Structure 1
Amino acid sequence: MTTATTSTYSCEKVTTTFNSLKCKECGTTYEPKAMHVCELCFGPLEVDYDYDAIASKVSRATIEAGPLSIWRYRDFLPVQTDNYIDVGTGMTPLLKANRLAKKLGIKNLYIKNDAINMPTLSFKDRVVSVALSRARELGFNTVACASTGNLANSTAAIAAHAGLDCCVFIPSDLEAGKVLGTVIYAPKVFAVQGNYDQVNRLCSEVANTHGWGFVNINLRPYYSEGSKTLAYETIEQLGWQLPDRVVAPLASGSLFTKIYKGFQEFVKVGLVDEKSVRFSGAQAEGCSPIASAFREGRDFIAPVKPKTIAKSIAIGNPADGVYAIDIARKTNGSIESVTDDEIIEGIKLLAETEGIFTETAGGTTIAVLKKLVEAGKIDPDETTVAYITGNGLKTQEAVQGYVGEPLQIEPKLSSFERALERSQTLERLEWQPVSV
């Protein structure tokens, strides 16, 4: 694997809507290179757009005429050429979840289902498509990431498609489905004996030493922008309207903040009418530093050591946690946490009512949605969108032992009839009221 940062790839530059990176804390601007931290205050950098330029060239019609992928929103994304990497990512269904809504006692519930996103069945395909497009523009031959699983899958797959060398770093205790879903693309995979935060610290050292393009380190300002496409698609699929409430999982906090940014950008350029949207975040109790800070009224994050089945969102020291808290507060939203048992029930509830098998991050989102409804924090009439970010086939271990088993029968009608009667009896017992 090469460690060079120059590439033979080239493409003509086109008119772009961004020309710099800007510090979120002090406002200092930088050339749009591979960097993610302000040199003056060490604040995070993000892409700075020319929204007047965007407004002058973008309309609902131009977006609707674009490709059926995240690249229909190209003018809102940090690429400077037209030869971006398009593997069909995005435009996932926004499903009206009538059966789940009825079960919970609300009316207007939608599921944004990135469990079937392409090519690796998670929302990470969005951020990686953007990050690797920008990495190629910046001349990187080798791309890499620190990952809890889904990002490793996406980086390996999209790098393979783009012909880039790839190296991924994961905690050594990841679910088997996520490990297999990475190694199949033949990257170099390093399983680190530690949690995600330890993996991430190691990767910062590797990035500085080898000069690779790490999607969630030195390319993070570009990578994180891909999450905005979830907001854009939601608006378009709701008939160019904003919802009243969103519920989304929290890991680093980046997804949460970028959905908010995406909503604000469409308002800013006149694509959708302004409206108050309440933001609710979901964490697992075994790794809930953002929820704890929100609950205790703190404006800082106290790092924790993760211990939860929800490994894909188990980040003990979340980079964007304080920004997620700020959004929840200023939108009159909330950040809640749920137990591992509640996460499992959330996975089962979504599957049984809507036919969507989600991983543990999605189970966390549904469990928090249920918790909010039961606490009276969601108006039954408001339009709520819950973001499902990954596929349950990747984390089958989480529900093994908590779901039913096949009925074993002989190849005879009589054997089938006995088994059917037995199963119906068990169903009746499950629903029989318990007398005290």
Structure 2
Amino acid sequence: MFVKGLKCRECGKEYPDSALYVCDYCFGPLEVDYDYDKIKKNISIEKIKSRQPNMWRYRELLPIKGDIEIGKDVGFTPLVKADNLARALGVKHIYIKNDAVNFPTLSFKDRVVSVAIAKAKEFGFKVIACASTGNLANATAALAASSGFESFVFIPSNLEVGKVLGTLIYGTNLVKIEGSYDKVNRLCTEIAGKHNWAFVNINLRPYYAEGSKSLTFEILEQLGFKAPDNIVVPMAGGSLITKVGKSIEEFEYCGLIEKHNTKIFGAQATGCNPITSTVKEKREFIKPVKNPDTIAKSLAIGNPADGYYAADLMHKSGGFGEDATDDEIVEGMKLLASTEGIFTETAGGVTVAVAKKLIEKGYINKNETTVLAITGNGLKTLEALNGKLNEAPVINPNLEEFEEILKKIREKK
């Protein structure tokens, strides 16, 4: 165990390793404080390569104690060299980090929940809970079930059917809340204050967020322990993108990669863009979106907890923030599917659409290596494609009718 405790991002006040998430002195957010010098002496490329292909192969840089019992099959998802997509976008090198096939619930949230539940068990909690826009609900319910915890999941009442059913199936206690995610989160903060439950993204948030680092650790390893020139990341609360930056810095400090100059880009939906609007307008504060309106419901967090830090990271890395309209999101989903055979949810459509804009506007050099983080599976957001794809023709079991259809298909091409 290489965790020293928790530390306030703002004032630096230190706290013990416990279920805390906000500084009682300045109200700043807490994050995990590691003994990096000790880690550097204990981690190596050889040691990482010798371990099982899952997120825990980087255990020295994750906040856990003892043996790994939670999420043994989570992570080490494919890094796909997307040559067809690269040609379509007019660049040389694009890779897709495909967490749309992550185990067990087909999103990167399986990573963060694995860490959170491991800490919940360590701290002696009996009930796991979360506030979610969808993917976190699935992951919390599934991993709580497999770990023997009772769970409560709170979601906005308008989530996609696939994400609702994909949560209920695990036997969780699902509660729908009228209003936006931000209202759900506020209620859950009150519940966390009354009940001794482990809310993965509230009182366990400092640990939960650390699980995101494993996605980038894998990218760096899969590129041959090298950092890419650019990474494009979808943003909701802003936690994932900040951990992309942190994980690259940690690998560099530990001598696992050479000094990097990776530019980090954030992607949001135009209908809920509190972080990208901050970047584009060069503001020093986040202006919350009161009524998010986008098909990318998993990114519809109007008041992002890590928004300021996400915007600051993009600026310092030389990256940028951009957003995509609903139509552009659908086109992004279709482009990734038709070029690489990867079916992403709406958040991935945001990532692809934004990458396209960044390339067209010159923010991403066409000769550089770029990684796109695809964080969820398209089977979860089928509603977004209703009326957006060509209808399949219906014919009788007759060869002549098929030949007529084939002729029309060929004429279109």
Determine if the TM-score, normalized by the shorter chain, exceeds 0.5. yes
1:5 aligned partner: none
Of the three residues 159, 163, 166, the one matched with 1:181 is: 166
Q: Is residue 358 of structure 1 aligned with residue 344 of structure 2? A: yes
1:169 aligned partner: 154
Of the three residues 182, 207, 221, the one matched with 1:197 is: 182
What letter corresponds to residue 376 of structure 1 in structure 2? G
Decide whether the 8 Å contact of 2:56 with 2:72 is kept in 1. Answer: no
Of the three residues 369, 380, 391, the one matched with 2:355 is: 369
Q: Is residue 420 of structure 1 aligned with residue 410 of structure 2? A: no
Alpha-carbon distance between aligned partners in 1 of 2:313 and 2:146, rounded to the nearest angstrom: 36
Decide whether the 8 Å contact of 2:56 with 2:68 is kept in 1. Answer: no
Question: How many Å apart are 1:214 and its aligned residue?
Answer: 0.1
> Root-mean-square deviation (CA), in Å?
0.8
Deviations along 1:332-371, one digit per CA (max 9) or x if unpaired, are 1100111111001000000000000100100000000000
Alpha-carbon distance between aligned partners in 2 of 1:124 and 1:214, rounded to the nearest angstrom: 14
2:323 aligned partner: 337
Alpha-carbon distance between aligned partners in 2 of 1:240 and 1:74, rounded to the nearest angstrom: 17
Q: Which runs of 5+ in 2 are unaligned?
A: none
Question: How many Å apart are 1:209 and its aligned residue?
Answer: 0.7
What letter corresponds to residue 321 of structure 1 in structure 2? G
Question: How many Å apart are 1:376 and its aligned residue?
Answer: 1.7
What letter corresponds to residue 136 of structure 1 in structure 2? K
Decide whether the 8 Å contact of 2:328 with 2:353 is kept in 1. Answer: yes
Deviations along 1:285-313, one digit per CA (max 9) or x if unpaired, are 10001111111111111111211100001
Alpha-carbon distance between aligned partners in 2 of 1:196 and 1:337, rounded to the nearest angstrom: 19
Question: How many Å apart are 1:407 and its aligned residue?
Answer: 2.0
Question: How many Å apart are 1:82 and its aligned residue?
Answer: 1.1
Aligned pairs for 1:142-157 (under 5 A) are 142-157=127-142
Alpha-carbon distance between aligned partners in 2 of 1:379 and 1:285, rounded to the nearest angstrom: 24
Deviations along 1:270-295, one digit per CA (max 9) or x if unpaired, are 11101100011001010001111111
Detail structure 1 runs of 4+ shifted over 3 Å in the superposition.
Answer: none
Alpha-carbon distance between aligned partners in 2 of 1:266 and 1:297, rounded to the nearest angstrom: 30
Tell me, what secondary structure is at the counterpart of 1:276? coil
2:282 aligned partner: 297
Q: Is residue 251 of structure 1 aligned with residue 236 of structure 2? A: yes
Tell me, what secondary structure is at the counterpart of 1:34? coil
Aligned pairs for 1:266-281 (under 5 A) are 266-281=251-266
Q: Is residue 322 of structure 1 aligned with residue 308 of structure 2? A: yes
1:312 aligned partner: 298
Alpha-carbon distance between aligned partners in 1 of 2:312 and 2:286, rounded to the nearest angstrom: 12
Q: Is residue 57 of structure 1 aligned with residue 42 of structure 2? A: yes
What letter corresponds to residue 238 of structure 1 in structure 2? L
Decide whether the 8 Å contact of 2:108 with 2:212 is kept in 1. Answer: yes
Sequence identity of aligned pairs in percent? Answer: 57
| More deviation, 123-132/407-416 | 407-416
TM-score by length of 1: 0.94
Question: How many Å apart are 1:32 and its aligned residue?
Answer: 1.0
TM-score by length of 2: 0.99
Q: Is residue 122 of structure 1 aligned with residue 107 of structure 2? A: yes
Decide whether the 8 Å contact of 2:265 with 2:320 is kept in 1. Answer: yes
Question: How many Å apart are 1:68 and its aligned residue?
Answer: 1.2
1:221 aligned partner: 206
1:7 aligned partner: none
Q: Which runs of 5+ in 1 are unaligned?
A: 1-15, 429-436
Alpha-carbon distance between aligned partners in 1 of 2:100 and 2:336, rounded to the nearest angstrom: 12
Alpha-carbon distance between aligned partners in 1 of 2:260 and 2:198, rounded to the nearest angstrom: 38
Matched positions, count: 412
| More deviation, 373-382/359-368 | 373-382
Alpha-carbon distance between aligned partners in 2 of 1:81 and 1:141, rounded to the nearest angstrom: 19
Decide whether the 8 Å contact of 1:92 with 1:113 is kept in 2. Answer: yes
Aligned pairs for 1:391-402 (under 5 A) are 391-402=377-388
Q: Is residue 24 of structure 1 aligned with residue 24 of structure 2? A: no
Alpha-carbon distance between aligned partners in 2 of 1:83 and 1:261, rounded to the nearest angstrom: 23
Deviations along 1:15-55, one digit per CA (max 9) or x if unpaired, are x1002100000000001111100000000000000011111
Aligned pairs for 1:4-153 (under 5 A) are 16-153=1-138
Alpha-carbon distance between aligned partners in 2 of 1:157 and 1:87, rounded to the nearest angstrom: 13
Decide whether the 8 Å contact of 2:71 with 2:143 is kept in 1. Answer: no
Tell me, what secondary structure is at the counterpart of 2:174? strand
Alpha-carbon distance between aligned partners in 2 of 1:405 and 1:206, rounded to the nearest angstrom: 46
What letter corresponds to residue 255 of structure 2 in structure 1? G
Decide whether the 8 Å contact of 1:87 with 1:119 is kept in 2. Answer: no
